[in-house]
Amino acid sequence: MPGSAMLVEGLKRELKARGITYAELARRIGMSEASVKRMFAQRSFSLQRLDEVLAAAGIDLLDLTRTALDAPRLIAQLSYAQEEELTGDPKLLLVAVAALNGVPVDEMVATFALTEAEAVKYLLRLDRIGFLVLKPNNRVKLLVERTFDWIPNGPIQAWFRREAAADYLDARFDGQGELLRLFSVMLSPASTQALLERLRQVADDFSRQHQADARLPYQERQAITFMLAARPWLPKAFGKLRRER
């Protein structure tokens, strides 16, 4: 997790520990609650604004840094065995994705062909393999990052290619909440690396927005799948027309 993200997460924990809501913080620093929420979701803090937030909340920068450094590190990539177990059982994979998206057990049961006993059984399996911790009242604490990396050519990537890629792309992408863009450009290696880093930041922003909306009722959220892909590539139809060298 980037240092700035760790700092913001630490700040959120400090505010929660002090019982300071976004609404109260907004009042103290003279901003709207919506602007404060957006600031935290996008990590768009200027140094001056950060100083204002810390002063308004009575938080010392040194304490904030310690909080950020002491935060438990989430798993950024599963092991091959964990990926293999997830993809070996469709219902287990379903419950894992639901847990990643903060779907409570009662909504899993209401939405999918699962009984409560089955949902809990799968949550216990996810607990056993180190994907999450199952807490009282069927609450869960994730042990993995919501945007964890897939193993290249590993079980999850193989499952996606086999079961989901064609289905995902089989759409017009012209409806509400849909977008498809394909850009093919020529860049230097340095520019390519800079672009890839920006794409990683977009994925992080996507995850943070998910966290910001996680406190909304389940009925007010919808499943959105966002795919980032980049590689040196020329369509086969073009490749056939290249001159031999």
Residues 79 and 166 occupy one common structural domain = yes
Any idea which residue has 């899993």 for tokens? Answer: 108
CB 209 within 8 A of CB 41: yes
pTM over 0.75: no
With 80 as the cut, is the pLDDT of residue 82 above it?
Answer: yes
CB 101 within 8 A of CB 78: no
- pLDDT bracket for residue 41 (50, 70, 90): confident
Torsion angle in degrees (nearest 10) through CA of 48, 52, 54, 58: 150
Q: What is the pLDDT of residue 209?
A: 82
**Mean pLDDT, residues 218-234:** 89
Element (H, E) at 147: strand 144-149
DSSP 142: E
Tokens representing residue 116 in the block: 């409560």
pLDDT tens digit sequence for 153-202? 999 999 999 999 999 999 999 999 899 999 899 999 999 999 998 888 88
Give me the CATH number covering residue 41.
1.10.260.40
With 90 as the cut, is the pLDDT of residue 137 above it?
Answer: yes
Residues 206 and 177 occupy one common structural domain = yes
| 29-62: b (≥16 Cβ within 10 Å) or e | bebeeeebbebbbebebeeeebebbbebbebeee
pLDDT tens digit sequence for 110-131? 999 999 999 999 999 999 999 9
Of 170, 185, 208, the residue that ends a domain is 170
Residues 176 and 166 occupy one common structural domain = no
Q: What proportion of the chain, given as a percentage, has pLDDT over 70?
A: 95
Number of structural domains in the chain: 3
With 80 as the cut, is the pLDDT of residue 69 above it?
Answer: no
Residues 64 and 19 occupy one common structural domain = yes
The larger pLDDT score, comparing residue 1 to residue 129, is at 129
Of 70, 85, 111, the residue that ends a domain is 70
Element (H, E) at 31: none
Residues 80 and 51 occupy one common structural domain = no
Residues 43 and 84 occupy one common structural domain = no
- pLDDT bracket for residue 39 (50, 70, 90): confident
Q: What is the pLDDT of residue 72?
A: 62
Residues 32 and 81 occupy one common structural domain = no
Tokens representing residue 162 in the block: 């086999």
With 90 as the cut, is the pLDDT of residue 68 above it?
Answer: no
Residues 210 and 140 occupy one common structural domain = no
The larger pLDDT score, comparing residue 66 to residue 204, is at 204
Q: Residue 120 is part of which domain span?
A: 74-170
Of 170, 203, 237, the residue that ends a domain is 170
Residues 95 and 118 occupy one common structural domain = yes
Residues 153 and 177 occupy one common structural domain = no
With 90 as the cut, is the pLDDT of residue 235 above it?
Answer: no
Residues 80 and 165 occupy one common structural domain = yes
With 70 as the cut, is the pLDDT of residue 18 above it?
Answer: yes
Residues 149 and 215 occupy one common structural domain = no
With 70 as the cut, is the pLDDT of residue 3 above it?
Answer: no
DSSP 208: H
